[in-house]
Amino acid sequence: KAHNLNEVTIPELRRMASGEKPFFLFLRHLDPHSPYLPPPPFDRMFYGGNEFDPNNRSLEKVYAFKPFRDYFLTWFPPGCTDAEYIIAQYDGSLAYMDACIQRLIAEVAALGIEEETLIVLTGDHGETLMEHECYFDHHGLYECTINVPLIIKFPEKVPGGLVFDEYVQQKDIMPTILELLGITAPNAFDGRSLVPVMQCMYHELEPEIYLTEATWMRKHGWRTPEWKLIEALEPDFHFKPRVELYNLVRDPEERVNVAEQEPEVVAMMMTRMRRHIERRVRETGRPNPIETRTDWNWKGVTFTSSQHAYDLQHIGDPEAARKLQEQSKTNK
């Protein structure tokens, strides 16, 4: 829990701030990660209904999803029927985490080091709740999973209150931090510093991005400001087609796959993606792991069909369900 992290972090922060040396502190908050189990009052902050309403069937297809069903039973309240309640637990977990992080930022200010302290907030992935049938997890190459915030606070060098819509990548974070701190990088980075962007200077960002995933599914894709291509490298357990194409301008929620209607766009995106992969293979001298690591799922098999993948994928067990529910009751 985030408050447990604070209990350890704040004394350490005070100790380091009292010294003469610069310090680096890395915190990993897991509260918005499933299982979503925010403490009161955050568990009811975004929900005022009856999560056990027998007439509500919004969770039926979630319980019917065999690969994750046992996992969901480890933390869904027994008898819960309302998907909005589970979504509210995610929102509550975010609010709870935010409140705990605010406590840390207030401590930085109280210690008198706010002006010279660089604070970076980001995430390694987003979350799918009920979107795209990827229930309460973070697999898939859809925007809700790959698009995360990047918040940078550094009063000495970064103007406050600025918001940029341009998409950047996690590989840009390290060179940005080093430039802000005046540290010369010993090696070249694939990413680029975002300092010129934050200082409102012209800076060309990468207009197109290569996407990969190997969390339950092995896929890759190519994203431009207008289009997103997703190609499955083996059958996935959601029974999605091998190729998906979305117009991000007209369909930002990626509801309509237009791959069959736009074959020329698919071909163009495939060509650009292949050129990128071939260039990276030449630069690194290594094969593309997402295409060559066929044992990524640790099951020693390559899925031959979506049904095959569906039947083999599984997470969770009834005993873990009982223990987690008891632990949740104790914490509350």
CB burial class (10 A; 0-12, 13-18, 19+) of residue 246? buried
Average pLDDT, integer, range 283-292: 92
Taking each continuous run of H as one helix and of E as one strand, the counts in the chain are 11, 6
Bond preceding residue 35 cis, omega within 30 of 0: yes
CA distance 96 to 90: 10
Pair 259, 242: CB distance under 8 Å: no
- When the pLDDT of each residue in the chain is averaged and rounded to a whole number, the result is 91
φ, ψ at 7 (rounded to 5°): -60, -30
CA distance 292 to 260: 27
Structure tokens at 74: 């480890």
CA distance 66 to 107: 46
Question: Tens digit of pLDDT for each residue in 40-96?
Answer: 999 999 999 999 999 999 999 999 999 999 999 999 999 999 999 999 999 999 999
pLDDT at 165: 83
CA distance 141 to 218: 10
CA distance 269 to 247: 12
Identify which has the larger pLDDT, 218 or 228.
228
CA distance 150 to 145: 14
First-to-last alpha carbon distance for the chain, in angstroms, is: 12
Pair 245, 229: CB distance under 8 Å: yes
320 sits in which H/E element: helix 318-331
Average pLDDT, integer, range 234-241: 93
φ, ψ at 211 (rounded to 5°): -115, 140
Question: DSSP letter at 192?
Answer: -
CA distance 46 to 88: 5
Binning pLDDT at 50, 70 and 90, where does residue 302 land? confident
Helix orientation angle between 66-73 and 318-331, rounded to the nearest 10 degrees: 40
Record the pTM.
0.90
pLDDT at 319: 60
Task: Indicate whether 100 pLDDT > 80.
Answer: yes
Binning pLDDT at 50, 70 and 90, where does residue 197 land? confident
Sign of the Cα pseudo-torsion (282, 285, 286, 287, in order): positive
| List of long-range contacts for 240-247, beta carbons under 8 Å, 24+ apart | 240/306, 245/269
